[in-house]
Amino acid sequence: MTVRPPAEIGMPLEEVETPALLVDLDVFEANLKRMANDAAAKGIKLRPHSKTHKSPVIALRQMALGAVGVCCQKVGEAEAMVLGGVPDVFISNEVVGRNKVARLAALARQARVAVCADDPAHVAALSEAAQSFSVELAVFVEVDVGAGRCGVAPGQPALDLARQVAAAPSLRFAGLQAYHGSAQHKRTIAERREMIQSAAAKVRECTDLLAAAGIACELVSGAGTGTYPLEIASGAWQELQAGSYIFMDADYARNLDEAGQPISDFEQSLFVYATVMSRPRPEMAIVDAGLKCFSVDSGLPVVADLPGVEYVGAADEHGKLAIADTAGGPRIGDKVRLIPGHCDPTVNLYDWFTGVRNGRVETLWPIAARGAVY
Protein backbone atom coordinates (compact mmCIF):
# COMPACT_ATOMS: atom_id res chain seq x y z
CA MET A 1 0.00 0.00 0.00
CA THR A 2 1.50 3.32 -1.05
CA VAL A 3 0.54 6.38 0.95
CA ARG A 4 -1.53 8.83 -1.11
CA PRO A 5 -0.07 12.32 -1.62
CA PRO A 6 -0.65 14.92 1.11
CA ALA A 7 -1.69 17.60 -1.37
CA GLU A 8 -3.18 18.37 -4.74
CA ILE A 9 -1.37 20.39 -7.35
CA GLY A 10 -2.56 23.98 -7.29
CA MET A 11 -3.53 23.88 -3.62
CA PRO A 12 -2.38 26.72 -1.35
CA LEU A 13 0.45 25.61 0.93
CA GLU A 14 -1.72 26.08 4.01
CA GLU A 15 -4.08 23.32 2.83
CA VAL A 16 -1.39 20.63 2.55
CA GLU A 17 -2.05 17.74 4.93
CA THR A 18 0.58 17.31 7.60
CA PRO A 19 3.11 15.99 8.26
CA ALA A 20 4.34 16.51 4.70
CA LEU A 21 7.78 16.82 3.15
CA LEU A 22 7.99 20.18 1.36
CA VAL A 23 10.51 21.29 -1.23
CA ASP A 24 10.86 25.03 -1.78
CA LEU A 25 11.32 24.83 -5.55
CA ASP A 26 13.00 28.22 -6.02
CA VAL A 27 15.67 27.39 -3.44
CA PHE A 28 16.01 23.81 -4.65
CA GLU A 29 16.57 24.91 -8.24
CA ALA A 30 19.11 27.52 -7.15
CA ASN A 31 20.99 24.84 -5.20
CA LEU A 32 21.01 22.53 -8.23
CA LYS A 33 22.37 25.28 -10.47
CA ARG A 34 24.95 26.43 -7.97
CA MET A 35 26.56 23.00 -7.73
CA ALA A 36 26.29 22.35 -11.47
CA ASN A 37 27.96 25.69 -12.19
CA ASP A 38 30.67 25.10 -9.59
CA ALA A 39 31.53 21.72 -11.09
CA ALA A 40 31.45 23.00 -14.66
CA ALA A 41 33.61 26.01 -13.82
CA LYS A 42 36.23 23.75 -12.23
CA GLY A 43 36.08 21.13 -14.99
CA ILE A 44 35.12 18.33 -12.61
CA LYS A 45 32.42 15.75 -13.20
CA LEU A 46 29.33 15.83 -11.00
CA ARG A 47 27.60 12.57 -10.09
CA PRO A 48 25.17 13.57 -7.34
CA HIS A 49 24.22 11.03 -4.72
CA SER A 50 20.67 9.77 -5.12
CA LYS A 51 20.60 8.39 -1.57
CA THR A 52 19.59 11.93 -0.62
CA HIS A 53 16.49 12.24 -2.79
CA LYS A 54 15.70 8.67 -3.92
CA SER A 55 13.79 10.15 -6.82
CA PRO A 56 14.54 9.65 -10.53
CA VAL A 57 12.67 12.90 -11.20
CA ILE A 58 15.34 14.82 -9.32
CA ALA A 59 18.15 12.71 -10.79
CA LEU A 60 17.03 13.65 -14.30
CA ARG A 61 16.87 17.32 -13.31
CA GLN A 62 20.47 17.04 -12.10
CA MET A 63 21.52 15.36 -15.34
CA ALA A 64 19.78 18.05 -17.40
CA LEU A 65 22.15 20.52 -15.74
CA GLY A 66 25.19 18.45 -16.63
CA ALA A 67 25.52 15.67 -14.08
CA VAL A 68 27.01 12.53 -15.64
CA GLY A 69 24.69 10.17 -13.77
CA VAL A 70 24.00 9.42 -10.12
CA CYS A 71 25.51 7.52 -7.25
CA CYS A 72 23.39 5.01 -5.34
CA GLN A 73 24.06 3.06 -2.15
CA LYS A 74 21.84 0.05 -2.77
CA VAL A 75 20.87 -2.14 -5.70
CA GLY A 76 17.21 -1.33 -5.09
CA GLU A 77 18.00 2.35 -5.32
CA ALA A 78 19.84 1.80 -8.59
CA GLU A 79 16.91 -0.23 -9.95
CA ALA A 80 14.50 2.60 -9.12
CA MET A 81 16.79 5.13 -10.83
CA VAL A 82 17.18 3.06 -14.00
CA LEU A 83 13.45 2.31 -14.23
CA GLY A 84 12.87 6.04 -13.82
CA GLY A 85 15.04 6.83 -16.84
CA VAL A 86 18.51 7.37 -15.38
CA PRO A 87 20.99 5.78 -17.82
CA ASP A 88 24.13 5.75 -15.66
CA VAL A 89 24.33 4.59 -12.03
CA PHE A 90 27.33 4.03 -9.79
CA ILE A 91 26.72 2.07 -6.61
CA SER A 92 29.38 3.78 -4.50
CA ASN A 93 29.27 0.89 -2.05
CA GLU A 94 29.98 -2.81 -1.79
CA VAL A 95 27.23 -5.21 -2.87
CA VAL A 96 27.11 -8.61 -1.15
CA GLY A 97 24.84 -11.62 -1.60
CA ARG A 98 24.25 -13.88 -4.57
CA ASN A 99 20.83 -12.49 -5.46
CA LYS A 100 21.86 -8.84 -5.05
CA VAL A 101 24.95 -9.25 -7.19
CA ALA A 102 22.84 -11.00 -9.84
CA ARG A 103 20.36 -8.09 -9.82
CA LEU A 104 23.25 -5.70 -10.24
CA ALA A 105 24.61 -7.58 -13.23
CA ALA A 106 21.15 -7.87 -14.76
CA LEU A 107 20.69 -4.12 -14.37
CA ALA A 108 23.83 -3.59 -16.44
CA ARG A 109 21.83 -4.83 -19.46
CA GLN A 110 19.61 -1.75 -19.10
CA ALA A 111 22.04 0.99 -18.07
CA ARG A 112 25.69 1.82 -17.40
CA VAL A 113 26.41 0.28 -14.01
CA ALA A 114 29.43 0.65 -11.76
CA VAL A 115 30.07 -0.65 -8.24
CA CYS A 116 32.74 -0.74 -5.53
CA ALA A 117 34.88 -3.54 -4.12
CA ASP A 118 37.22 -3.65 -1.14
CA ASP A 119 37.88 -7.39 -0.93
CA PRO A 120 38.74 -10.24 -3.31
CA ALA A 121 35.43 -11.85 -2.33
CA HIS A 122 33.58 -8.94 -3.95
CA VAL A 123 35.67 -9.21 -7.10
CA ALA A 124 34.99 -12.92 -7.49
CA ALA A 125 31.24 -12.57 -6.98
CA LEU A 126 30.93 -9.62 -9.35
CA SER A 127 32.97 -11.36 -12.05
CA GLU A 128 30.86 -14.50 -11.86
CA ALA A 129 27.58 -12.57 -12.10
CA ALA A 130 28.82 -10.33 -14.91
CA GLN A 131 29.85 -13.38 -16.92
CA SER A 132 26.52 -15.02 -16.24
CA PHE A 133 24.62 -12.02 -17.62
CA SER A 134 27.16 -11.36 -20.42
CA VAL A 135 27.83 -7.83 -19.25
CA GLU A 136 30.93 -5.87 -18.30
CA LEU A 137 30.77 -4.23 -14.87
CA ALA A 138 32.84 -1.17 -14.04
CA VAL A 139 34.43 -1.72 -10.62
CA PHE A 140 35.97 0.95 -8.41
CA VAL A 141 38.38 -0.06 -5.70
CA GLU A 142 37.22 1.64 -2.51
CA VAL A 143 40.08 3.09 -0.50
CA ASP A 144 39.74 4.12 3.14
CA VAL A 145 41.00 7.70 3.00
CA GLY A 146 40.24 8.40 6.66
CA ALA A 147 36.58 7.61 7.33
CA GLY A 148 37.40 4.26 8.92
CA ARG A 149 34.48 2.47 7.34
CA CYS A 150 34.70 0.37 4.16
CA GLY A 151 37.71 0.40 1.88
CA VAL A 152 41.14 -1.14 1.54
CA ALA A 153 44.11 0.63 3.07
CA PRO A 154 45.85 3.08 0.72
CA GLY A 155 48.96 1.94 -1.11
CA GLN A 156 49.82 -1.67 -1.84
CA PRO A 157 46.45 -3.17 -0.79
CA ALA A 158 44.68 -0.84 -3.22
CA LEU A 159 47.10 -1.75 -6.01
CA ASP A 160 46.71 -5.47 -5.30
CA LEU A 161 42.92 -5.28 -5.47
CA ALA A 162 42.99 -3.13 -8.62
CA ARG A 163 45.14 -5.81 -10.27
CA GLN A 164 42.60 -8.47 -9.30
CA VAL A 165 39.76 -6.41 -10.73
CA ALA A 166 41.66 -5.76 -13.95
CA ALA A 167 42.41 -9.46 -14.31
CA ALA A 168 38.87 -10.67 -13.54
CA PRO A 169 36.72 -11.75 -16.48
CA SER A 170 33.91 -9.33 -17.39
CA LEU A 171 35.10 -6.65 -14.95
CA ARG A 172 36.76 -3.35 -15.82
CA PHE A 173 38.90 -1.49 -13.28
CA ALA A 174 37.24 1.92 -13.39
CA GLY A 175 39.17 3.85 -10.75
CA LEU A 176 39.10 4.63 -7.06
CA GLN A 177 36.24 5.36 -4.67
CA ALA A 178 37.63 7.79 -2.08
CA TYR A 179 34.95 9.33 0.10
CA HIS A 180 35.75 10.85 3.47
CA GLY A 181 32.35 10.64 5.14
CA SER A 182 33.41 11.69 8.60
CA ALA A 183 34.96 14.93 7.30
CA GLN A 184 31.63 16.27 5.98
CA HIS A 185 30.30 17.52 9.29
CA LYS A 186 33.45 18.78 10.99
CA ARG A 187 32.51 22.25 12.05
CA THR A 188 35.57 24.33 11.21
CA ILE A 189 37.06 24.74 7.78
CA ALA A 190 40.49 24.04 9.34
CA GLU A 191 39.40 20.56 10.45
CA ARG A 192 37.79 19.78 7.12
CA ARG A 193 40.83 21.05 5.18
CA GLU A 194 43.24 18.96 7.21
CA MET A 195 41.16 15.82 6.70
CA ILE A 196 40.74 16.31 2.96
CA GLN A 197 44.45 17.15 2.51
CA SER A 198 45.24 13.89 4.29
CA ALA A 199 42.72 12.04 2.10
CA ALA A 200 44.23 13.58 -1.03
CA ALA A 201 47.68 12.35 -0.02
CA LYS A 202 46.26 8.83 0.33
CA VAL A 203 44.60 9.07 -3.07
CA ARG A 204 47.90 10.19 -4.63
CA GLU A 205 49.76 7.33 -2.96
CA CYS A 206 47.37 4.97 -4.76
CA THR A 207 47.35 6.69 -8.14
CA ASP A 208 51.16 6.91 -8.14
CA LEU A 209 51.42 3.19 -7.42
CA LEU A 210 48.86 2.36 -10.10
CA ALA A 211 50.67 4.52 -12.64
CA ALA A 212 54.00 2.89 -11.79
CA ALA A 213 52.38 -0.50 -12.26
CA GLY A 214 51.00 0.51 -15.64
CA ILE A 215 47.36 0.28 -14.52
CA ALA A 216 45.23 3.10 -15.89
CA CYS A 217 43.14 4.83 -13.21
CA GLU A 218 40.41 6.56 -15.19
CA LEU A 219 38.75 8.34 -12.35
CA VAL A 220 38.86 9.10 -8.64
CA SER A 221 35.34 9.67 -7.32
CA GLY A 222 34.28 11.05 -3.95
CA ALA A 223 33.53 14.23 -1.99
CA GLY A 224 30.37 15.43 -0.28
CA THR A 225 28.48 18.65 0.32
CA GLY A 226 30.56 19.51 3.38
CA THR A 227 33.97 19.32 1.73
CA TYR A 228 33.67 19.31 -2.08
CA PRO A 229 35.50 22.66 -2.65
CA LEU A 230 38.47 21.10 -0.85
CA GLU A 231 38.46 17.99 -3.02
CA ILE A 232 38.26 20.21 -6.10
CA ALA A 233 41.13 22.38 -4.87
CA SER A 234 43.33 19.35 -4.21
CA GLY A 235 43.17 18.21 -7.83
CA ALA A 236 43.15 14.59 -6.69
CA TRP A 237 39.52 13.86 -7.58
CA GLN A 238 37.86 13.94 -10.99
CA GLU A 239 34.27 13.35 -9.90
CA LEU A 240 32.06 14.73 -7.11
CA GLN A 241 29.43 12.66 -5.27
CA ALA A 242 27.71 15.38 -3.23
CA GLY A 243 24.06 14.76 -2.46
CA SER A 244 22.75 16.90 0.40
CA TYR A 245 23.41 20.23 -1.33
CA ILE A 246 20.02 20.05 -3.04
CA PHE A 247 18.12 20.14 0.28
CA MET A 248 20.56 20.93 3.11
CA ASP A 249 19.69 20.28 6.78
CA ALA A 250 20.13 21.67 10.28
CA ASP A 251 23.35 19.74 10.74
CA TYR A 252 25.04 21.04 7.58
CA ALA A 253 23.91 24.54 8.55
CA ARG A 254 26.19 24.22 11.60
CA ASN A 255 29.31 23.92 9.40
CA LEU A 256 31.38 27.09 9.46
CA ASP A 257 33.30 28.89 6.71
CA GLU A 258 36.71 30.62 6.75
CA ALA A 259 35.28 33.54 8.70
CA GLY A 260 33.71 31.25 11.32
CA GLN A 261 30.22 31.98 9.94
CA PRO A 262 27.70 29.30 8.95
CA ILE A 263 28.35 28.25 5.35
CA SER A 264 25.91 29.84 2.94
CA ASP A 265 26.67 28.28 -0.44
CA PHE A 266 23.40 26.40 -0.37
CA GLU A 267 20.13 27.27 1.31
CA GLN A 268 17.53 25.14 3.04
CA SER A 269 14.96 23.85 0.55
CA LEU A 270 13.58 20.85 2.47
CA PHE A 271 11.05 21.20 5.26
CA VAL A 272 8.70 19.02 7.24
CA TYR A 273 5.36 20.76 7.38
CA ALA A 274 3.57 20.16 10.67
CA THR A 275 0.38 21.22 12.43
CA VAL A 276 -0.03 22.42 15.98
CA MET A 277 -2.40 19.82 17.45
CA SER A 278 -2.44 20.80 21.11
CA ARG A 279 -1.65 23.85 23.25
CA PRO A 280 -1.67 22.30 26.72
CA ARG A 281 0.19 25.21 28.36
CA PRO A 282 1.11 28.74 27.29
CA GLU A 283 4.80 27.84 27.06
CA MET A 284 4.28 24.68 25.01
CA ALA A 285 2.74 23.61 21.72
CA ILE A 286 2.55 20.05 20.43
CA VAL A 287 2.95 19.37 16.71
CA ASP A 288 1.98 16.24 14.79
CA ALA A 289 5.51 15.39 13.60
CA GLY A 290 7.81 13.24 15.73
CA LEU A 291 10.18 10.29 15.35
CA LYS A 292 8.32 8.85 12.36
CA CYS A 293 8.73 12.15 10.48
CA PHE A 294 12.41 12.95 11.15
CA SER A 295 15.62 11.13 11.70
CA VAL A 296 17.01 12.59 14.92
CA ASP A 297 20.49 11.05 14.65
CA SER A 298 21.97 14.52 14.00
CA GLY A 299 19.76 16.40 16.41
CA LEU A 300 16.19 17.60 16.65
CA PRO A 301 14.53 19.61 13.88
CA VAL A 302 14.75 23.40 13.90
CA VAL A 303 11.65 25.60 13.63
CA ALA A 304 11.97 27.64 10.42
CA ASP A 305 9.42 30.42 10.59
CA LEU A 306 8.62 31.19 14.21
CA PRO A 307 11.19 33.20 16.16
CA GLY A 308 11.29 32.30 19.84
CA VAL A 309 9.85 28.84 19.20
CA GLU A 310 12.08 25.80 19.63
CA TYR A 311 11.50 22.10 18.92
CA VAL A 312 12.66 20.55 22.20
CA GLY A 313 11.43 16.96 22.23
CA ALA A 314 10.32 14.21 19.85
CA ALA A 315 8.13 11.20 20.61
CA ASP A 316 6.85 8.70 18.06
CA GLU A 317 4.06 10.93 16.77
CA HIS A 318 4.51 14.19 18.67
CA GLY A 319 6.94 17.08 18.80
CA LYS A 320 7.16 19.52 21.69
CA LEU A 321 7.65 23.19 20.84
CA ALA A 322 8.86 25.48 23.62
CA ILE A 323 7.44 28.98 23.26
CA ALA A 324 9.35 31.96 24.62
CA ASP A 325 6.50 34.46 24.28
CA THR A 326 3.87 32.82 26.45
CA ALA A 327 1.34 35.50 25.59
CA GLY A 328 1.56 34.58 21.92
CA GLY A 329 2.78 31.58 20.00
CA PRO A 330 0.99 29.40 17.46
CA ARG A 331 -2.62 28.30 17.86
CA ILE A 332 -4.17 24.86 17.38
CA GLY A 333 -4.40 24.30 13.64
CA ASP A 334 -1.50 26.59 12.75
CA LYS A 335 1.08 25.04 10.48
CA VAL A 336 4.85 25.36 10.83
CA ARG A 337 7.84 24.47 8.70
CA LEU A 338 10.55 22.44 10.43
CA ILE A 339 14.12 21.91 9.20
CA PRO A 340 15.22 18.27 9.59
CA GLY A 341 18.44 17.57 11.47
CA HIS A 342 19.60 15.15 8.77
CA CYS A 343 18.06 15.20 5.31
CA ASP A 344 18.85 11.76 3.85
CA PRO A 345 17.22 9.47 6.42
CA THR A 346 14.37 11.96 6.81
CA VAL A 347 13.52 11.80 3.09
CA ASN A 348 13.48 8.00 3.38
CA LEU A 349 10.44 8.28 5.68
CA TYR A 350 8.18 9.82 3.02
CA ASP A 351 6.52 8.70 -0.20
CA TRP A 352 6.12 12.14 -1.77
CA PHE A 353 7.93 15.42 -2.16
CA THR A 354 5.43 18.27 -2.20
CA GLY A 355 7.01 20.96 -4.39
CA VAL A 356 5.95 24.49 -3.47
CA ARG A 357 6.50 27.85 -5.17
CA ASN A 358 4.95 31.19 -4.28
CA GLY A 359 2.85 29.59 -1.56
CA ARG A 360 1.22 27.10 -3.91
CA VAL A 361 1.71 23.39 -4.56
CA GLU A 362 3.30 23.08 -7.99
CA THR A 363 4.31 19.43 -8.16
CA LEU A 364 4.25 16.06 -6.38
CA TRP A 365 7.30 13.89 -6.93
CA PRO A 366 7.21 10.22 -5.90
CA ILE A 367 10.14 9.14 -3.72
CA ALA A 368 10.43 5.99 -5.78
CA ALA A 369 13.34 4.45 -3.87
CA ARG A 370 11.92 5.17 -0.42
CA GLY A 371 12.58 2.06 1.65
CA ALA A 372 14.73 0.49 -1.08
CA VAL A 373 17.31 -0.71 1.42
CA TYR A 374 18.19 -3.96 -0.38
How many residues of this chain interact with its own copies, rule: CB under 8 A? 72
Q: Which residue lies nearer to its own copies by CB, 170 or 177?
A: 177
Window of 213-221, 231-239, 247-255, 273-281 that interacts with its own copies by CB under 8 A: 273-281
Is residue 349 near its own copies by the rule CB under 8 A?
yes
- The answer to whether residue 70 forms part of the interface with its own copies (CB under 8 A) is no
In the complex, minimum distance from the CB of residue 214 to its own copies, in angstroms, rounded to a whole number = 27
Using the contact rule CB under 8 A, the part of the chain among 203-211, 219-227, 277-285, 354-362 near its own copies is 277-285
Verify binding: residue 94, its own copies, rule CB under 8 A: yes
| One-letter-per-residue 3-state SS of the chain | CCCCCCCCCCCEHHHCCCCEEEEEHHHHHHHHHHHHHHHHHHCCEECCECCCCCCHHHHHHHHHCCCCCEEECCHHHHHHHHHCCCCEEEEEEECCCHHHHHHHHHHCCCCEEEEEECCHHHHHHHHHHHHHCCCCEEEEEEECCCCCCCCECCCHHHHHHHHHHHHCCCEEEEEEECCCHHHCCCCCHHHHHHHHHHHHHHHHHHHHHHHHCCCCCCEEEECCCCCHHHHHHHCCCCEECCCHHHCCCCCHHHCECCCCCECCCCCCCEEEEEEEEEEEECCEEEECCCCCCCCCCCCCCEECCCCCEEEEEECCCCEEEEECCCCCCCCCCCEEEEECCCHHHHHCCCCEEEEEECCEEEEEEECCCCCCCC
Options 40, 64, 121, 213; binder of its own copies; rule CB under 8 A: 121
Rounded to the nearest whole angstrom, what is the least distance from the CB of residue 239 to its own copies in the complex?
Answer: 19
Q: Does 374 bind its own copies (CB under 8 A)?
A: yes
Judge whether 14 and 333 are in contact, CB under 8 Å: no
Residues 128-157 that bind its own copies (CB under 8 A): 144, 148-153
The nearest distance, CB 195 to its own copies, in angstroms, is 16
Q: Does 330 bind its own copies (CB under 8 A)?
A: no
Residue 355 sits in the site that holds its own copies (CB under 8 A) = no
| Nearest distance from C-beta of residue 258 to its own copies, angstroms | 27
Nearer to its own copies, 37 or 99 (CB): 99
- Whether 212 and 162 have beta carbons less than 8 Å apart is answered as no
Q: List binders of its own copies among 284-323 (CB under 8 A).
A: 284, 286, 288-289, 291-293, 295-297, 314-318, 320
248 vs 369 by CB, closer to its own copies: 369
Give the residue, chosen from 42, 100, 204, 357, that forms a contact with its own copies under the rule CB under 8 A.
100
Measured over the CA atoms of residue 53, residue 55, residue 56 and residue 61, the dihedral's sign is: negative
The reply on whether position 276 binds its own copies by CB under 8 A is yes
Q: Which of 95, 159, 209, 240 binds its own copies (CB under 8 A)?
A: 95
Please choose, from the candidates 52, 63, 46, 3, the residue with its C-alpha nearest in 3D space to the C-alpha of residue 23: 52
Span interacting with its own copies, options 13-21, 24-32, 36-44, 263-271, rule CB under 8 A? 13-21
Residue 358 has a CB neighbour count (10 Å cut-off) of 8
Sole window of 168-176, 200-208, 232-240, 272-280 interacting with its own copies (rule: CB under 8 A): 272-280
Instruction: Provide the minimum distance between the beta carbon of 330 and its own copies in the complex, in angstroms, as a whole number.
Output: 12
Q: Which range binds its own copies by CB under 8 A, 15-23, 200-208, 210-218, 262-270?
A: 15-23
85 binds its own copies (CB under 8 A): no
- Closest to its own copies by CB, 167 vs 315, is 315
- Chain residues 156-215 in contact with its own copies, contact rule CB under 8 A: 181
Nearest approach, Cβ of 148 to its own copies (angstroms)? 8
Query: In Å, what is the CA distance from 291 to each residue of 19, 250, 267, 305?
Result: 12, 16, 24, 21
